Structure 1
């Protein structure tokens, strides 16, 4: 009986894993994204390593042929620009490491004190900021060079083997860069859109939670506290969006595929950068709004000034419609989306004006620091300015 139960538990678990695997491969084959990038990077790394091994082992008959495929895979970066940058740093680190070993090896000898001195010098050079993340390769190359040096039988053999290490690294890096450039070089046009979409989704979800509560006058302390916490936790999303935009821009450098795309990519990225900055400012304004609501404890005012809260809810709802468009931003539909955004911005402006008129009719205590009305009116004006600016700047870059 126990075995049957265990078997029944194992089969659903296996079925679930297989389903996840199928979904993963479905995403990899069906659309651009992290899954497809992973598969492509593995395939290109395999191709580059194989070519490098064939050249170093079968053609050059090198004594340490693994240096070439190792180098090819090591510099197979996500973007062509990063491949070129990291390969140049890597070659510089290897040359420095081999040079340190060559100099100390011929001057001091292949004994333990020489190794310690070589390690000291190599690790010190590896701290040079110009080498970046490849700084550790100085010591690695020096250690391998020391091993090759002590195993060589003659001075000529020592020089030949040390030179061969540099040659193999150059071959591996060259093949890695060549494969990355010629075989579907990554072009991260959608990374910028994805970051903005994620940020806009978070903003839309937050605003969409606030305005129904204002309309229903359900501003309890627990709910407003959750709004405030959510608004203050968007910093990571902003960082991710900035990283996506940087990768999108970076993927254009030295990438031959950009010749087959529209020549206005840089203009779109400028527009996306402006939108991202505007959304970041808007999130700060929404965070200030949630702080004001969280501090408000005058419950009876919700009924006395219910018409104002309803008007504020209408205004926030109109802003949520704008955020939904940003959450679906698409380069191929930017023209239509910018027109839609301007229409929605005009509607939001009307709701903001109605909000101000309602505040006048209700004779709100705008100067009372214990009540949120003055801050709410000011935040509404600032939010509208940011949304209007965001729509205008995107329209400007689309028309360029």
Structure 2
């Protein structure tokens, strides 16, 4: 019995009290609430477009064209809007083509083999194969197969199903495009800025971390920056998708036609040079690790150059976000980064240090191109900012081991 008391006490301590469970749930939901609200705000525009497009599609099909039960028209509108921004025109075409292929395959096979379970299987099989032959899009294949199912199962019950189904696809896709282009277009500059921010912030943050690693000779910190920058597919993918969506919006919507050659056009064209800057910065960080591990000299101007390069990335984001007519401050900051790299080179660097200097130059050139400068002009500015290429005579007492 003497041992029973502690045993009961220990058992009670391991139980989760109702109050503690409620507090834990409250903390979990309370912490997630801001993220949930941000997702709601981010999806508000799409939700409004989908609701308006669905209502418009139903009204056109039911009230104007008097199609009986045009359920597929609003469904087609929502399916079109569910596509990634920038692919909605393509999705509409795929929707219509897929429906047409499903109708054609179903009608031909019903006339040849009739209807039934195995006949339905054959219809779907051939409709999907024909769609795969026509195009690689999953949406096209799915629409062809789904339409073949409707034709094969409903034709014995509903006459003349083919024309309403095809009309529904046209009406729904058309309604979605009208809403996104004319009635409720989203601001493409805001869209691309929201998606570009994480990619540009990722690059700037890892360059800042690399500059700090150079100052402190901290190879561990440089490795962490390298690993984080490598994992950039989500950020770059969102940036590229948003740029594609901005091009589509500015092409289709008369409201934003004037923005195509201004800040929006520059932003959309910046995806490729930013991608190159990411890759060149990755090389910069890798050589930084070797530089630190080999004990090569690190002139004060070298971490300053990498830090200014990070600053130019942040400035690019700010100037794009506010729609600057010319991102001149980004260009100035990138040229200062190159100037610091030139000072570091002439102060004396080792083998890997020279590679870091070269990558600062290359990444800065990429950022200048991202500001809509031609490549030749960007290269000219980099050469001018870098200064003389002749370093001082090497000091044998300062030579470190050769990097791999």
Query: TM over 0.5, yes or no?
Result: yes
Asked whether 1:317 is paired with 2:307, we answer yes
User: Structure 1 residues 43 and 117, CA, compared in 2 at 3 Å: closer, same or farther?
Assistant: same
* 2:252 corresponding residue in structure 1: 254
Larger CA deviation: 1-10 vs 76-85? 1-10
User: Structure 1 residues 75 and 5, CA, compared in 2 at 3 Å: closer, same or farther?
Assistant: same
Q: Return 5+ residue gaps in structure 1 as ranges.
A: 28-33, 153-157, 365-372
After TM superposition, the structure 1 = structure 2 runs for residues 158-197 of structure 1, keeping only pairs within 5 Å, are: 158=159, 160-197=160-197
Within 2, Cα distance between the matches of 1:115 and 1:185?
A: 41
The question of whether the paired residues in 2 share the 8 Å contact of 1:68 and 1:171 is answered with yes
The question of whether the paired residues in 2 share the 8 Å contact of 1:214 and 1:309 is answered with no
The question of whether the paired residues in 1 share the 8 Å contact of 2:102 and 2:144 is answered with yes
- Give the C-alpha shift of residue 21 in structure 1: 4.5
Within 2, Cα distance between the matches of 1:234 and 1:175?
A: 36
* 2:378 corresponding residue in structure 1: none
- Point out which structure has higher relative CO (alpha carbons under 8 A, 6+ apart): 1
How many residues are aligned here?
Answer: 361
Within 2, Cα distance between the matches of 1:80 and 1:204?
A: 26
After TM superposition, the structure 1 = structure 2 runs for residues 196-345 of structure 1, keeping only pairs within 5 Å, are: 196-216=196-216, 218-220=217-219, 222-259=220-257, 263-269=258-264, 271-272=266-267, 275-296=270-291, 301=295, 305=297, 308-335=298-325, 338-345=327-334
Deviations 1:20-52 (A, max 9, x none): 556744x5xxxxxx6445223223323333454
Larger CA deviation: 56-65 vs 126-135? 56-65
- Give the C-alpha shift of residue 275 in structure 1: 4.1
* 1:49 corresponding residue in structure 2: 54
CA RMSD of aligned residues (A): 3.7
Deviations 1:263-293 (A, max 9, x none): 2524545533564433333333332233233
* 2:92 corresponding residue in structure 1: 87
TM-score (norm 2): 0.73
The secondary structure found in structure 1 opposite 2:81 is coil
- Give the C-alpha shift of residue 380 in structure 1: 0.8
* 2:367 corresponding residue in structure 1: 390
Q: Return 5+ residue gaps in structure 2 as ranges.
A: 1-11, 375-404
* 1:144 corresponding residue in structure 2: 150
Within 2, Cα distance between the matches of 1:15 and 1:182?
A: 44
TM-score (norm 1): 0.74
Larger CA deviation: 117-126 vs 191-200? 191-200
Within 2, Cα distance between the matches of 1:395 and 1:264?
A: 15
